[in-house]
Structure 1
Protein backbone atom coordinates (compact mmCIF):
# COMPACT_ATOMS: atom_id res chain seq x y z
CA UNK A 1 0.00 0.00 0.00
CA UNK A 2 1.26 3.47 -0.90
CA UNK A 3 0.64 6.46 1.40
CA UNK A 4 0.41 10.18 0.65
CA UNK A 5 1.82 12.63 3.18
CA UNK A 6 1.19 16.37 2.96
CA UNK A 7 3.61 18.39 5.08
CA UNK A 8 2.05 21.71 6.14
CA UNK A 9 -0.47 22.00 3.29
CA UNK A 10 -1.85 25.52 2.85
CA UNK A 11 -4.66 25.45 0.31
CA UNK A 12 -7.85 23.61 1.28
CA UNK A 13 -8.96 22.97 -2.30
CA UNK A 14 -5.69 21.17 -3.08
CA UNK A 15 -5.94 19.00 0.01
CA UNK A 16 -9.58 18.27 -0.80
CA UNK A 17 -8.64 17.17 -4.32
CA UNK A 18 -5.89 14.94 -2.94
CA UNK A 19 -8.34 13.47 -0.42
CA UNK A 20 -10.66 12.63 -3.31
CA UNK A 21 -7.71 10.98 -5.12
CA UNK A 22 -6.99 8.96 -1.98
CA UNK A 23 -10.62 7.87 -1.69
CA UNK A 24 -10.59 6.81 -5.35
CA UNK A 25 -7.46 4.68 -4.89
CA UNK A 26 -7.94 3.50 -1.29
CA UNK A 27 -4.73 5.32 -0.36
CA UNK A 28 -4.13 6.53 3.21
CA UNK A 29 -3.71 10.31 3.52
CA UNK A 30 -1.53 11.83 6.25
CA UNK A 31 -1.67 15.55 7.02
CA UNK A 32 1.23 16.95 9.03
CA UNK A 33 0.45 20.18 10.86
CA UNK A 34 0.48 23.09 10.74
CA UNK A 35 -2.38 23.20 8.25
CA UNK A 36 -3.20 26.43 6.45
CA UNK A 37 -6.91 25.76 6.98
CA UNK A 38 -9.31 24.03 9.32
CA UNK A 39 -10.55 20.54 8.50
CA UNK A 40 -14.05 21.97 8.59
CA UNK A 41 -13.23 24.44 5.79
CA UNK A 42 -16.02 24.51 3.21
CA UNK A 43 -13.53 24.64 0.31
CA UNK A 44 -11.78 21.54 1.62
CA UNK A 45 -15.09 19.72 1.95
CA UNK A 46 -16.30 20.91 -1.46
CA UNK A 47 -13.14 19.75 -3.26
CA UNK A 48 -13.39 16.33 -1.59
CA UNK A 49 -17.12 16.17 -2.32
CA UNK A 50 -18.96 13.46 -0.43
CA UNK A 51 -15.94 11.13 -0.45
CA UNK A 52 -14.55 12.20 2.94
CA UNK A 53 -16.03 9.20 4.78
CA UNK A 54 -13.96 6.98 2.45
CA UNK A 55 -10.63 8.72 3.11
CA UNK A 56 -8.23 6.94 5.47
CA UNK A 57 -7.17 10.22 7.09
CA UNK A 58 -4.58 10.75 9.81
CA UNK A 59 -3.59 14.17 11.12
CA UNK A 60 -0.26 14.58 12.92
CA UNK A 61 0.78 17.53 15.11
CA UNK A 62 4.28 17.60 13.62
CA UNK A 63 6.80 15.67 11.53
CA UNK A 64 8.30 13.77 14.49
CA UNK A 65 4.86 12.56 15.62
CA UNK A 66 4.19 11.30 12.09
CA UNK A 67 7.52 9.44 11.93
CA UNK A 68 7.15 7.89 15.38
CA UNK A 69 3.51 6.84 15.15
CA UNK A 70 2.99 6.08 11.46
CA UNK A 71 6.42 4.43 11.16
CA UNK A 72 6.59 4.63 7.35
CA UNK A 73 8.63 1.88 5.72
CA UNK A 74 10.26 4.29 3.26
CA UNK A 75 9.89 8.01 2.58
CA UNK A 76 9.89 9.26 -1.01
CA UNK A 77 10.17 13.04 -1.22
CA UNK A 78 9.22 15.49 -3.92
CA UNK A 79 9.04 19.23 -3.65
CA UNK A 80 8.66 22.22 -5.92
CA UNK A 81 10.67 24.24 -3.43
CA UNK A 82 13.71 21.96 -3.25
CA UNK A 83 15.96 24.57 -4.85
CA UNK A 84 18.68 22.73 -6.69
CA UNK A 85 18.01 19.25 -5.34
CA UNK A 86 17.55 17.00 -8.32
CA UNK A 87 15.82 13.68 -7.83
CA UNK A 88 15.15 10.71 -10.04
CA UNK A 89 12.53 11.28 -12.71
CA UNK A 90 9.28 9.89 -11.30
CA UNK A 91 8.87 7.35 -14.12
CA UNK A 92 12.38 5.93 -13.52
CA UNK A 93 12.13 5.59 -9.75
CA UNK A 94 11.85 2.10 -8.19
CA UNK A 95 8.77 2.50 -5.98
CA UNK A 96 8.10 -0.13 -3.34
CA UNK A 97 4.97 -1.26 -1.53
CA UNK A 98 4.59 0.77 1.63
CA UNK A 99 6.25 3.91 0.25
CA UNK A 100 5.07 7.21 1.69
CA UNK A 101 5.01 9.92 -0.99
CA UNK A 102 5.82 13.18 0.82
CA UNK A 103 4.79 16.57 -0.56
CA UNK A 104 5.58 20.01 0.85
CA UNK A 105 3.47 23.11 1.19
CA UNK A 106 2.32 24.92 -1.91
CA UNK A 107 4.32 28.11 -1.31
CA UNK A 108 7.63 26.81 0.03
CA UNK A 109 7.82 23.09 -0.67
CA UNK A 110 9.50 20.86 1.89
CA UNK A 111 11.86 22.31 4.49
CA UNK A 112 15.54 21.81 3.66
CA UNK A 113 16.10 19.95 6.94
CA UNK A 114 13.64 17.25 5.84
CA UNK A 115 15.37 16.82 2.49
CA UNK A 116 18.99 16.82 3.67
CA UNK A 117 20.57 13.41 3.22
CA UNK A 118 17.40 11.77 1.94
CA UNK A 119 18.21 9.08 -0.63
CA UNK A 120 14.74 8.88 -2.18
CA UNK A 121 13.97 12.06 -4.09
CA UNK A 122 11.77 12.11 -7.16
CA UNK A 123 10.90 14.85 -9.56
CA UNK A 124 8.35 15.44 -12.25
CA UNK A 125 10.13 16.86 -15.30
CA UNK A 126 8.74 20.18 -16.50
CA UNK A 127 9.93 21.56 -19.80
CA UNK A 128 7.43 24.37 -20.19
CA UNK A 129 7.44 27.88 -18.80
CA UNK A 130 5.91 27.06 -15.38
CA UNK A 131 7.77 26.63 -12.07
CA UNK A 132 5.82 23.63 -10.84
CA UNK A 133 2.66 21.60 -11.15
CA UNK A 134 -0.27 22.03 -8.81
CA UNK A 135 0.29 19.76 -5.79
CA UNK A 136 -2.92 17.81 -6.49
CA UNK A 137 -1.75 17.13 -10.05
CA UNK A 138 1.71 16.12 -8.81
CA UNK A 139 0.18 13.77 -6.23
CA UNK A 140 -1.91 12.14 -8.96
CA UNK A 141 1.06 11.64 -11.27
CA UNK A 142 3.27 10.10 -8.56
CA UNK A 143 0.57 8.00 -6.92
CA UNK A 144 -0.58 6.34 -10.13
CA UNK A 145 3.01 5.63 -11.18
CA UNK A 146 3.78 4.14 -7.76
CA UNK A 147 0.63 2.02 -7.91
CA UNK A 148 1.52 0.85 -11.41
CA UNK A 149 5.06 -0.14 -10.40
CA UNK A 150 4.04 -1.89 -7.18
CA UNK A 151 1.08 -3.77 -8.64
CA UNK A 152 -1.54 -1.66 -6.95
CA UNK A 153 -3.27 -0.77 -10.22
CA UNK A 154 -5.56 -3.33 -11.77
CA UNK A 155 -3.85 -4.68 -14.89
CA UNK A 156 -0.41 -3.30 -14.00
CA UNK A 157 2.64 -5.30 -15.00
CA UNK A 158 3.66 -5.85 -11.38
CA UNK A 159 0.29 -7.32 -10.43
CA UNK A 160 0.19 -11.14 -10.37
Structure 2
Protein backbone atom coordinates (compact mmCIF):
# COMPACT_ATOMS: atom_id res chain seq x y z
CA UNK A 1 0.00 0.00 0.00
CA UNK A 2 1.04 3.60 -0.58
CA UNK A 3 0.47 6.73 1.50
CA UNK A 4 -2.52 7.56 -0.69
CA UNK A 5 -4.37 4.34 0.13
CA UNK A 6 -7.73 4.96 1.81
CA UNK A 7 -6.95 2.69 4.80
CA UNK A 8 -3.60 4.37 5.38
CA UNK A 9 -5.20 7.82 5.15
CA UNK A 10 -7.93 6.75 7.55
CA UNK A 11 -5.38 5.49 10.07
CA UNK A 12 -3.34 8.68 9.71
CA UNK A 13 -6.29 10.69 11.05
CA UNK A 14 -5.78 9.00 14.42
CA UNK A 15 -2.92 11.39 15.09
CA UNK A 16 -5.67 13.82 16.16
CA UNK A 17 -7.15 13.43 19.63
CA UNK A 18 -10.66 14.28 18.45
CA UNK A 19 -10.49 11.52 15.85
CA UNK A 20 -9.20 9.02 18.40
CA UNK A 21 -11.95 9.90 20.87
CA UNK A 22 -14.70 9.70 18.28
CA UNK A 23 -13.61 6.36 16.83
CA UNK A 24 -12.07 4.93 20.05
CA UNK A 25 -9.02 3.87 18.10
CA UNK A 26 -5.34 4.82 18.45
CA UNK A 27 -1.94 4.11 16.91
CA UNK A 28 0.74 1.96 18.55
CA UNK A 29 4.11 2.74 16.98
CA UNK A 30 7.09 0.39 17.14
CA UNK A 31 7.69 -3.32 17.74
CA UNK A 32 7.33 -3.24 21.55
CA UNK A 33 4.01 -1.44 21.34
CA UNK A 34 2.74 -3.75 18.61
CA UNK A 35 3.88 -6.80 20.56
CA UNK A 36 2.00 -5.55 23.62
CA UNK A 37 -1.12 -4.80 21.60
CA UNK A 38 -1.11 -8.26 20.02
CA UNK A 39 -1.04 -9.71 23.53
CA UNK A 40 -4.43 -8.17 24.35
CA UNK A 41 -7.36 -10.07 22.87
CA UNK A 42 -9.34 -7.99 20.39
CA UNK A 43 -7.13 -4.93 20.71
CA UNK A 44 -5.48 -4.88 17.27
CA UNK A 45 -7.52 -3.85 14.24
CA UNK A 46 -4.70 -3.75 11.70
CA UNK A 47 -0.91 -3.66 11.61
CA UNK A 48 0.90 -1.66 8.92
CA UNK A 49 4.49 -2.69 8.25
CA UNK A 50 7.18 -2.23 5.65
CA UNK A 51 8.66 -5.29 3.88
CA UNK A 52 11.92 -4.80 5.79
CA UNK A 53 10.11 -4.67 9.14
CA UNK A 54 8.13 -7.76 8.18
CA UNK A 55 11.40 -9.66 7.84
CA UNK A 56 12.91 -8.18 10.99
CA UNK A 57 9.83 -8.79 13.12
CA UNK A 58 8.69 -12.06 11.58
CA UNK A 59 7.22 -13.39 14.88
CA UNK A 60 4.99 -10.31 15.12
CA UNK A 61 3.84 -10.77 11.54
CA UNK A 62 2.99 -14.39 12.30
CA UNK A 63 1.08 -13.41 15.45
CA UNK A 64 -0.89 -10.72 13.59
CA UNK A 65 -1.87 -13.06 10.77
CA UNK A 66 -4.34 -11.52 8.33
CA UNK A 67 -4.23 -8.21 10.22
CA UNK A 68 -0.66 -7.62 8.96
CA UNK A 69 -0.63 -5.24 5.99
CA UNK A 70 2.40 -4.35 3.88
CA UNK A 71 2.97 -0.66 3.11
CA UNK A 72 5.79 1.27 1.55
CA UNK A 73 8.26 3.41 3.52
CA UNK A 74 6.44 6.65 2.77
CA UNK A 75 3.10 5.27 3.94
CA UNK A 76 4.62 4.00 7.18
CA UNK A 77 6.37 7.31 7.82
CA UNK A 78 3.03 9.11 7.47
CA UNK A 79 1.65 7.01 10.35
CA UNK A 80 4.58 7.54 12.71
CA UNK A 81 5.70 10.67 14.53
CA UNK A 82 9.03 9.06 15.40
CA UNK A 83 12.19 10.60 13.98
CA UNK A 84 13.35 7.12 12.95
CA UNK A 85 10.26 4.91 12.44
CA UNK A 86 10.81 1.24 13.22
CA UNK A 87 8.62 0.21 10.30
CA UNK A 88 5.59 -1.16 12.12
CA UNK A 89 2.45 0.63 13.42
CA UNK A 90 -0.77 -0.93 14.72
CA UNK A 91 -4.29 0.48 14.80
CA UNK A 92 -5.70 -0.48 18.20
CA UNK A 93 -8.97 -0.29 20.07
CA UNK A 94 -9.19 1.81 23.24
CA UNK A 95 -8.22 0.06 26.46
CA UNK A 96 -9.30 2.44 29.23
CA UNK A 97 -12.03 1.61 31.70
CA UNK A 98 -13.86 3.40 34.53
CA UNK A 99 -11.94 3.98 37.75
CA UNK A 100 -14.24 1.69 39.72
CA UNK A 101 -13.40 -1.17 37.37
CA UNK A 102 -9.66 -0.97 38.09
CA UNK A 103 -10.17 -0.58 41.84
CA UNK A 104 -12.60 -3.43 42.43
CA UNK A 105 -9.96 -6.18 42.36
CA UNK A 106 -8.24 -5.47 45.69
CA UNK A 107 -5.26 -3.61 44.20
CA UNK A 108 -2.18 -3.09 46.34
CA UNK A 109 -0.40 -0.42 44.28
CA UNK A 110 -1.94 2.21 42.01
CA UNK A 111 -0.58 5.39 40.41
CA UNK A 112 -2.99 8.36 40.30
CA UNK A 113 -1.82 11.03 37.85
CA UNK A 114 -3.53 14.40 38.26
CA UNK A 115 -3.24 16.94 35.44
CA UNK A 116 -0.08 15.45 33.94
CA UNK A 117 0.40 17.26 30.63
CA UNK A 118 3.63 15.95 29.10
CA UNK A 119 3.03 12.84 26.95
CA UNK A 120 6.55 11.52 27.49
CA UNK A 121 6.22 11.80 31.27
CA UNK A 122 2.83 10.13 31.19
CA UNK A 123 4.13 7.18 29.21
CA UNK A 124 7.17 6.85 31.46
CA UNK A 125 4.98 6.81 34.57
CA UNK A 126 2.96 3.96 33.05
CA UNK A 127 6.20 2.12 32.27
CA UNK A 128 7.49 2.64 35.83
CA UNK A 129 4.18 1.49 37.31
CA UNK A 130 4.33 -1.63 35.16
CA UNK A 131 7.94 -2.35 36.16
CA UNK A 132 7.10 -1.87 39.86
CA UNK A 133 4.26 -4.36 39.62
CA UNK A 134 1.49 -1.82 40.10
CA UNK A 135 -2.07 -2.95 39.56
CA UNK A 136 -3.33 0.10 37.65
CA UNK A 137 -2.72 3.67 36.54
CA UNK A 138 -5.38 6.37 36.66
CA UNK A 139 -5.16 9.58 34.61
CA UNK A 140 -7.32 12.20 36.28
CA UNK A 141 -8.32 15.78 35.58
CA UNK A 142 -6.86 17.56 32.57
CA UNK A 143 -4.16 14.96 32.01
CA UNK A 144 -2.70 14.29 28.58
CA UNK A 145 -4.55 11.80 26.42
CA UNK A 146 -2.69 8.59 27.19
CA UNK A 147 -3.43 7.41 23.64
CA UNK A 148 -1.17 10.21 22.38
CA UNK A 149 1.42 8.47 20.15
CA UNK A 150 4.28 9.88 22.24
CA UNK A 151 2.71 8.53 25.44
CA UNK A 152 2.16 5.09 23.95
CA UNK A 153 5.72 5.02 22.62
CA UNK A 154 7.23 6.25 25.93
CA UNK A 155 5.45 3.44 27.76
CA UNK A 156 7.37 0.92 25.59
CA UNK A 157 4.36 -1.39 25.50
CA UNK A 158 3.37 -1.00 29.16
CA UNK A 159 0.00 0.60 28.31
CA UNK A 160 -0.99 -2.91 27.25
CA UNK A 161 0.29 -4.65 30.39
CA UNK A 162 -1.82 -3.15 33.17
CA UNK A 163 -5.25 -1.54 33.47
CA UNK A 164 -5.44 2.18 32.76
CA UNK A 165 -8.43 4.30 33.75
CA UNK A 166 -9.45 7.90 33.13
CA UNK A 167 -11.40 10.13 35.53
CA UNK A 168 -12.25 13.76 34.72
CA UNK A 169 -12.42 14.72 38.41
CA UNK A 170 -9.19 14.23 40.43
CA UNK A 171 -11.14 14.53 43.69
CA UNK A 172 -13.39 11.67 42.62
CA UNK A 173 -10.31 9.59 41.74
CA UNK A 174 -8.80 10.13 45.20
CA UNK A 175 -12.06 9.34 46.98
CA UNK A 176 -12.56 6.21 44.85
CA UNK A 177 -9.09 4.97 45.81
CA UNK A 178 -9.80 5.56 49.49
CA UNK A 179 -13.17 3.83 49.22
CA UNK A 180 -11.35 0.84 47.74
CA UNK A 181 -9.24 0.60 50.89
CA UNK A 182 -6.09 2.23 49.53
CA UNK A 183 -3.99 4.66 51.52
CA UNK A 184 -3.52 7.71 49.28
CA UNK A 185 0.00 9.11 49.47
CA UNK A 186 0.59 12.47 47.82
CA UNK A 187 4.10 12.89 46.40
CA UNK A 188 4.90 16.36 47.74
CA UNK A 189 8.26 18.02 48.23
CA UNK A 190 6.92 19.65 51.40
CA UNK A 191 5.37 16.45 52.74
CA UNK A 192 5.48 15.59 56.44
CA UNK A 193 6.60 11.98 55.81
CA UNK A 194 10.12 11.11 54.60
CA UNK A 195 10.07 8.40 51.92
CA UNK A 196 13.18 6.78 53.44
CA UNK A 197 11.41 6.36 56.79
CA UNK A 198 7.99 5.26 55.59
CA UNK A 199 8.30 1.48 55.16
CA UNK A 200 5.47 0.66 57.57
CA UNK A 201 3.20 3.02 55.67
CA UNK A 202 4.39 1.88 52.25
CA UNK A 203 3.70 -1.76 53.06
CA UNK A 204 -0.03 -1.06 53.07
CA UNK A 205 -2.18 -1.08 49.91
CA UNK A 206 -1.33 2.28 48.38
CA UNK A 207 -2.36 4.76 45.73
CA UNK A 208 0.38 7.25 44.93
CA UNK A 209 -0.92 10.67 43.88
CA UNK A 210 1.28 12.59 41.44
CA UNK A 211 0.68 16.14 40.25
CA UNK A 212 1.49 18.33 37.28
CA UNK A 213 5.09 18.59 36.08
CA UNK A 214 5.28 22.37 36.56
CA UNK A 215 3.16 23.18 39.61
CA UNK A 216 2.72 19.86 41.37
CA UNK A 217 -0.43 19.07 43.31
CA UNK A 218 -2.97 21.77 44.14
CA UNK A 219 -3.13 22.29 47.90
CA UNK A 220 -6.77 21.28 48.06
CA UNK A 221 -6.06 17.99 46.29
CA UNK A 222 -2.97 17.19 48.35
CA UNK A 223 -5.04 17.84 51.48
CA UNK A 224 -7.36 14.97 50.54
CA UNK A 225 -4.49 12.48 50.68
CA UNK A 226 -4.01 10.42 53.81
CA UNK A 227 -0.36 11.45 53.97
CA UNK A 228 2.00 13.71 52.04
CA UNK A 229 5.37 12.09 51.34
CA UNK A 230 8.57 13.86 50.37
CA UNK A 231 11.55 12.38 48.58
CA UNK A 232 14.69 13.49 50.45
CA UNK A 233 17.06 15.49 48.28
CA UNK A 234 20.64 15.33 49.54
CA UNK A 235 22.28 17.46 46.89
CA UNK A 236 21.59 20.93 45.53
CA UNK A 237 18.91 20.04 42.98
CA UNK A 238 15.69 21.91 43.64
CA UNK A 239 13.40 19.06 42.64
CA UNK A 240 13.03 15.88 40.61
CA UNK A 241 11.43 15.25 37.25
CA UNK A 242 7.91 13.85 37.64
CA UNK A 243 8.64 10.45 36.11
CA UNK A 244 11.82 10.10 38.20
CA UNK A 245 9.90 10.91 41.38
CA UNK A 246 7.18 8.45 40.39
CA UNK A 247 9.75 5.71 39.83
CA UNK A 248 11.28 6.26 43.27
CA UNK A 249 7.90 6.27 45.02
CA UNK A 250 6.47 3.26 43.21
CA UNK A 251 9.58 1.15 43.69
CA UNK A 252 9.76 2.12 47.37
CA UNK A 253 6.23 0.76 47.75
CA UNK A 254 7.05 -2.36 45.74
CA UNK A 255 10.05 -3.07 47.97
CA UNK A 256 8.11 -2.50 51.19
CA UNK A 257 5.16 -4.61 50.06
CA UNK A 258 7.47 -7.51 49.18
CA UNK A 259 9.63 -7.36 52.28
Per the normalisation by structure 1, the TM-score is: 0.82
Larger Rg belongs to: 2
Aligned to 1:31: 139
Aligned to 1:79: 188
Unaligned runs of 5+ in 1: 152-157
Superimposed CA distance per residue, residues 44-69 of structure 1 (whole angstroms, 9 cap, x where no aligned partner): 11101222211221111112331454
Give the CA deviation at 1:117: 7.0
Aligned to 1:154: none
Equivalent of residue 236 in structure 2, options 111, 129, 135: 129
Per the normalisation by structure 2, the TM-score is: 0.52
Aligned to 1:4: 111
Compute the RMSD of aligned alpha carbons.
Answer: 1.9
Whole-Å separation in 1 of the counterparts to 2:160 and 2:172: 24
The change in CA–CA distance for 1:50 and 1:69 in structure 2 (over 3 A counts) is same
Whole-Å separation in 2 of the counterparts to 1:97 and 1:86: 18
More displaced 10-residue stretch of structure 1: 87-96 or 136-145: 87-96
Q: How does 1:1-160 map to 2 (within 5 A)?
A: 1-27=108-134, 28-35=136-143, 37-70=144-177, 71-72=179-180, 73-80=182-189, 85-93=190-198, 94-116=201-223, 118-151=225-258, 158=259
Bigger share in helix? 2
Unaligned runs of 5+ in 2: 1-107
Whole-Å separation in 2 of the counterparts to 1:139 and 1:67: 17
The change in CA–CA distance for 1:86 and 1:18 in structure 2 (over 3 A counts) is closer
RCO higher in 1 or 2 (8 Å CA, sep ≥ 6)?
1
Task: Provide the aligned length of Structure 1 versus Structure 2.
Answer: 147
